[in-house]
Chains A and B, each alone.
Chain A
Amino acid sequence: MSRLPKGCTNVGGDIASAMEQCRELFISSFSAFGYKPFWPSALQLLETAWDRLPESIRTRLITISTPFGEPCCLRADITLAAVAYLSAHHSPEERPLRLCYSDRVYKAPQRPETYLETFQIGAELLGWEGEGADIEVLNLLLKTLDKMGLDDTHLVLGDVKIVQKAMETIPSQLAQQLISCLEKGSYSTYFKILQKSSVPQSILPFLKALPDLKGDSQVIARTENLLGSNDCLKSLKEIERAMRYLGYGNRIRFDLALARELNYYSGPIFDIYSSRLGKPLGGGGRYDGLLFKYGIFGQAIGFALDLESAAAISRFKGSRSSTIMVWPGGLSPAEAIIKAETLIARDMEVEISWSADRKESFQLTRMRDIPWWIDLLHDIAINTSNNEEYSMQTWIEGPKC
C-alpha cells in the first residue's frame, strides 16, 4: 500500500460523493445570483502573498520554490487570489465581482489539528458598498446550507469595528493586550489585565461587559445601553433586521467579543456552526483593507466552509445509492449501452455488469447492496433484497417510482 505524505488525504467512497453533491449544489446556488466559478492557481508568489495575508495564515504558509526558481507558497486561502484576479482582470465599471469556488487549500496544521490540506467552498462579493452585500451573502449562505440539509446551522455575528471602537480610548499597548486576550479566548486574563489597568470610566463598563455580550438580538440593545447610540452597531442592526425579514431571525446569534485579525477584517465577521459539529463549519467577514492593498477602494465580503465537514453531515452523506445494475445478457455491448441510456434518460443512475454469468452478476450486485438488478435482454427487474421480479414496464411504473 502506498503511503500518503503526513497531513494529506485522499477522499473517496460515500463522503466523496456527498462532497461532490454539496459542491455542485453550492456552485449552482451561488451561480444563480451571478457568482462566477473561480479556479485559482495552486501556487502564489510569496512576494505578493506575504504582506497581504493575515498573520494567522502567514505563519502557516507552506513554501516551495518552482522549477523557475520563484519562491512561492501553496494557496492557503482563496480570497487573496480572488482579489488579485479582480484587480488584474476587471475594470471599475465591472464591479461588483461575484466569485464562488471549491478547491483545496494548504496550511501547516495548528495543534491539535493534523491535516495540512483541506477542502474549501466559498464565495466572495468584491467591490460593492453597504450592508446589502453582507445580507446577500449571508442569505445565500443559509439558503444553500438548508438545501444541503444543514438547516441546524447558525451564524454567530460580531463586528471588529465594535472592538476597535472600545479600544480607541485606551492606551494602545493595553488595547493590544486586551484584543489578544479576546482573540485567544482568554477571558480570565482579560479581566485580570482590566482590573490592574486604569481605564477611563466612560468605557470601563463596556469593556467589562464585552465578553458577556453574546446571545440573541437583545445583545444589540444591551450594547446600545452601554455605548449609547453608536455608528459601529449600524451594520449589525441592519443585518439582523434583514435576516429576520428573510426568515432567518432564529438562525442568527451575536458575539460582540468576537475578535479576529483586526488589521485584516474591517466590519461584520461571522462564524458558522452546526448543532452536530463541535467546531465551526466555517466563517467569513468583511475585509475592505485587502482591496485597498490592491489599490481598489470599496467593500469586500466573503466566507469559506469546510467542504468535508459540511458533506459529512449533509443530506447526501450515507444516502442509499440509487444505482441500478444492468446485465446485458446476450446483448452486444453497443445494444446494452443504448438500453442503459434509456434508463439514464429517466433520471436513473446505471452501472453495467459485463459478467457473462447471470448468477454471478446478480450475486455481486446483491453483495454491493445495489437494490435493483435488471436483465436487459429479457426486460426483467429484480429486487436484490427479496428476489421479487417485475417486468420492466411494471417496474418503471411501480416499484422504481
Chain B
Amino acid sequence: MLTVALPTGRVMNEVIELLDSIGLPSARLKDRGRKLVLEDQNYRYILAKPMDVPLYVDHGVADLALVGSDVMWEAGASLIELIDTGMGKCRIVIAGPKELESRFIGHESELMWLKVATKYPNIADAHFSSRGVQVEIIHLHGSIELAPRLGLSDCIMDIVQTGSTLKANNLKVLANVTPVSLRLVASRKSSEFHWNEISDIVNRFRSIGR
C-alpha cells in the first residue's frame, strides 16, 4: 500500500480531479468529511496543510505527495521530484507600491535594506542573498498584501495567479522570482523500495501528457 500526502484547501478539488484522470481511487476522498487519513483500495491518503506536505514525505511517513513547488522549496526537504503536473500554475513575485518600481529597474544595490513581508522566508532569503542584496525579511502567515499598506514592509514576496488581489491592494509586480506548479514527489526511501509502484504512477501521469 502506498501512502500519498495531499494538500488540503483550495487546491484539493483539482487534486482529486487529477487523481481521477490517472485512474487512482478517489471515491473516499470525495466523501471524506472531516477525515484526515483514509484508505481507498491500495492507497492511503493523508490530508495535510499544504506547507506540511513536504515534511510528511521527507520523514518517510508518506511515500508520495502532490505538492506545490513553492512549499517544496520553502521546506527545503530532500525529495525526489518526479513530475511537474502543470496544474495550479502561478508565480512567486516581488510586489509593492508603484513608487518602488524604479528601485527594481535600477542596479541591485538599490534594493538594499528593503523590508520584505512574506510567508516564504527561506525562498526570500535565497533569492536576495544570491544577488548579494541584504533585506529585512518579515515572516507573516497570511494576508501578506496588507503589510505595505499598513507600513509593516516596503514590499512583499508572494504567489500570484491572476494578480487581482495585488491590484485590489494597490500593489504591482516588481520582479518575477519563479514559476510555481503542482509537483508529484516521492521520498528518497520510497523511490528506492517502491520504485515499481511509483514508476507506474509516473507513467500514468505521462500518459495524460503531464
Contact = CB atoms under 8 A, between A and B. Distances in A.
Nearest to B77: A112
Contacts of B193: 154, 253, 273, 275
Interface string A140-172: 000000000000001010000000000000000
A111 interface: yes
B76 interface: yes
Contact of B78 (A185, A214, A277): A185
Interface stretch (A186-194, A229-237, A321-329, A333-341): A186-194
A253 B193 CA distance: 8
Contacts of B76: 110-112
Contacts of B196: 215
Interface stretch (B56-64, B144-152, B163-171): B56-64
Nearest to A214: B195
B192 interface: yes
B195 A215 contact: yes
Contacts of B187: 278
Contacts of A214: 191-192, 195
Contacts of B59: 278-279
B126 to A, nearest CB: 10
B192 A156 contact: yes
A187 B82 contact: yes
Nearest to B61: A278
B34 to A, nearest CB: 26
Interface residues of A, number: 24
- Name the prevailing secondary structure of the A interface residues: mixed
Contacts of A271: 188, 192
Contacts of A279: 58-60, 188-189
Given A214-B191, A215-B196, A253-B193, A111 B75 contact: yes
Contacts of A275: 193
B67 interface: no
Interface in B46-88: 55, 58-61, 75-84
A255 B192 contact: yes
Given A185-B191, A278-B189, 5 more contacts: A112-B76, A156-B192, A185-B79, A188-B82, A271-B192
Contacts of A273: 189, 192-193
Contacts of A186: 81
A278 B58 contact: yes
